[in-house]
Structure 1
Amino acid sequence: MKLIHTADWQLGKPYGRFDPEVRAALSEARFDVIDAIGKEAALHGADHVLVAGDVFDTEGPEDRTIVQAISRMERHACRWWLLPGNHDFARNGGLWDRVRQRAGAGITVLSEAQPHEIEPDVWLLPAPLTHRHNLDDPTERFDSMDTSGARIRIGLAHGSIRDFGTQGETKNQIAPDRARRSSLDYLALGDWHGTLNIDAHTWYAGTPETDRFQRDDPGHVLLVDVQEGREPFVTQIRTGRFQWIRRTWMVNDQAGFDAECSQLLASIDPPSTLLELSLAGITSLTDRVGMLGRLENDVGHRVRYLDVRSADLVGRPSEDDLASLSVEGMLGVAAAKLSALVETGGPDVSVAKRALERLFVEYSREDRA
């Protein structure tokens, strides 16, 4: 049988660091990806979509978030299986009762650790979380779940096979050999936000719509073909709209910087890109001002979001820079003193750098005027 494995939708995530326009686009993309998943399920003949926890970002989302999620899922003929994770854990009278009140027959909330026969002799074994942090392995109960006559056993859980540190949850630890211990043909996991293969029978799908700057591989779902007696065949399918890109450039002049910009813009879809860019190097003050000006007035208008970190890009005034300032007399004296402070270092060096650059910028504006 074929199924879609996905996780970590985190619907209702606030994206508080962004301005309202970007927040709205990112939030809407998380609902749109549900339709993308449903279409992929139909395209590949997958009758079931397993969501391995953190369907919602919190245990108390707004009603609109719940209704939007359900209405998107109900557009598609596949069966949706929703597992409570650590962000949206199961509790009496909580979120999942609100979901059940609105959901139709095509959506099943797996808030109890009870197996479900989803196809003849194909059993789904869920491990819902009932607290944000569980001390015990939530999948340990798979060993004792009765799946009489099972031809295929599929586990669904949310937690950490290994310690993901600050980028993942360190609680809810799952035995790394759980698939073997519990005789699972496939173990579908959530928590890690990028696609991650643990072993032939154990995968993290990651979030289907990227939600942070990171180095793993988010923005996908997994198409899983499970057959009795052999390893599952797993295919990664791209579903995410937005790319969150983190880059560090070593640049020493305007020409090299412009080449990097051109190469980057040619390799991405700018309106769908959030870019975190760190600049480092030593260049003339003229070039540093020009580089930051291009980012602010060109690249920043092309991409969806731009975060520039330029503290390590040092602009040293060249003789031409100082000469252009010295024509005004007092400006030249001020520039020389600030340049000397930069060269000698000390506690005021960062202030001197900013003052020298501001002096140059303001003079350049007046000169162009």
Structure 2
Amino acid sequence: MKIIHSADWQLGKPYGRFEPEVRAALSEARFDVIDRIGRLASDNNASHVFVAGDVFDTEGPEDRTIVQAISRMSRHACRWWLLPGNHDFARNGGLWDRVRRRVGGGITILSDPEPLELEPGAWLLPAPLVHRHNLDDPTDLFDTMETPGARLRIGVAHGSIRDFGSRGETKNQIAPDRAKRSTLDYLALGDWHGALKVDARTWYSGTPETDSFQRDDPGHALVVDIEAGREPVVVPARTGRFQWLVRDWTVNDRAAFDAECDQLLAVIDAPNTLLQLSLAGITGLSDRIAMLGRLENDISHRLRHLVVRADDLVGRPSEEDLAALAVEGMLGAAAAKLNVKIEVGGQDGPVAKRALERLFVEYSREEQP
């Protein structure tokens, strides 16, 4: 049988650090990806979609978030199986009771650790989280779950196979050999936000819509072909709309910087790209100003979002820059003193650098027709 393995939708994620326009686009993309997953199931003749935890970002999402999720899933003929994770763990009277009151027959909430027969001989073993952090391995129960006449045993769980440090949950630890221990044909995991193969029968699908600058790769879902007696065939399929890129450029003149910009724009879908850019190098002050100006007045308008870190891009006034300022009397004297402080360094160096840059910017503006 073929299934779609997804996880970590985190619907309702607030994206509070972004401006409202970007926030709205990122939030809506997380609903749109449900339709892409539904179409992926149809295109691959997969009857079941497993969402391995963190369907919602919190245990108290707005009603609109719940209704949007259900309405998007209900458009598609596949069966949806939703597992509570650490962000949306199962508790009496909580989120999943609100969801359950609204869902139709095509959506099943896996809030109880009880095996379910998907099709004759194909069993699903769920390990829902009932607390945000569980001390015990939530998949231990797989060993004792009875699956009469099973030809396929498919586990679905949310937690860490290994300690991912600050980028993943350190609680809810799952045995790395769980699939072998519990004779699973496939173990669908959620929690880690990038697609990751643990072993031949154990995968993280990652989030279907990338949500951080930690990875360039857009979000994916997994198309999984499972057959008794052989290893599953797992194919990642791109589902994400947005790319979150991290780039570090060392540039020493305007030409090198422009080449980097042009190369980047040639290979990305700019309106759907968020970029965190760090600049380093030693360049002329006028070039530094021109580089930052292009980022502010051109590149930032092309991209969905741009963050620039330019503290390591040192702008030194050229002889031409100083000569132009020198004829301005007091401006030239001030520029010369600031340049001396920059050369000496120390605590006053960074302040002098910013002051000289500002002085040159203001002078350049005055010189423009």
Please report how far the alpha carbon of residue 147 of structure 1 lies from its aligned counterpart in structure 2 after TM superposition: 0.5
Matched, 1:169 2:189: no
**Structure 1, unaligned runs of 5 or more:** none
CA distance in 2, matches of 1:189, 1:326: 66
Within 1, Cα distance between the matches of 2:107 and 2:348?
62
Which digits, 9 at most, give the CA deviation of each residue in 1:124-151, with x for residues without a partner? 0000000110000000100000101100
Distance 2:334 2:72 in 1: 63
| Cα distance, 1:215 vs structure 2 | 2.8
Deviation at 1:216, TM superposition (A): 6.7
Contact conserved, 1:283 with 1:313, CA < 8 A, in 2? yes
Tell me the secondary structure at the aligned position of residue 103 of structure 1. Answer: coil
* Offset, 1:296: 0.3
Partner Cα distance (2:289, 2:217) in 1: 34
CA spacing shift, 1:186–1:178, aligned 2, 3 Å: same
Deviations 1:214-258 (A, max 9, x none): 137450000000000000000010000000011000000000000
Aligned-partner residue type, residue 368 of structure 1: Q
| d(CA) in 1 for partners of 2:176, 2:131 | 21
Count of residues paired in the alignment: 369
Kept in 2: contact 1:213–1:246 (CA 8 A)? yes
Partner amino acid for 1:364? S
| Pairing of 1:254-333 with structure 2 (within 5 A) | 254-333=254-333
* TM-score (normalised: structure 2): 0.99
Aligned to 1:196: 196
Aligned to 1:102, what secondary structure does the other structure show?
coil
In structure 2, what residue type is equivalent to 1:220? Answer: H
Whole-Å separation in 1 of the counterparts to 2:216 and 2:152: 30
Whole-Å separation in 2 of the counterparts to 1:72 and 1:348: 58
What root-mean-square deviation, in Å, do the aligned CA atoms of Structure 1 and Structure 2 show? 0.7
Give the structure 2 partner of residue 159 of structure 1: 159
2:86 corresponds to = 86
Letter in 2 for 1:11: L
Stretches (4+) displaced over 2 A = 215-218
Contact 1:30–1:209 under 8 Å retained in 2: yes
| Cα contact 2:218–2:243 (8 A) shared by 1 | no
CA distance in 1, matches of 2:330, 2:77: 75
Stretches of structure 2 that go unaligned for 5 or more consecutive residues are none
- 1:318 positional shift: 1.1
Counterpart residue number, 2:103: 103
Determine helix, strand or coil for the equivalent of 1:49: strand
Distance in 1, Cα, partners of 2:123 & 2:326:
80
Could you tell me how far apart the structure 2 residues matched to 1:34 and 1:214 are? 23
**TM norm structure 1:** 0.99
Distance in 2 between residues matched to 1:4 and 1:225, nearest whole Å: 9
Q: 2:222 corresponds to which residue?
A: 222
CA distance in 1, matches of 2:120, 2:326: 86
Moved more, 208-217 or 181-190: 208-217
Identity of aligned residues (%): 76
- 8 A contact 1:194–1:216 mirrored in 2: no
Amino acid at match of 1:9: W
Q: What is the rounded CA distance, in whole Å, between the counterparts of 2:365 and 2:24 in structure 1?
A: 36
- The alignment partner of 1:9 has SS state of coil
1:350 positional shift: 1.2
CA distance in 2, matches of 1:24, 1:83: 26
Q: Is the 8 A contact 1:195 1:217 kept in 2?
A: no
Kindly provide the amino acid, as one letter, of the partner of residue 230 in structure 2: R
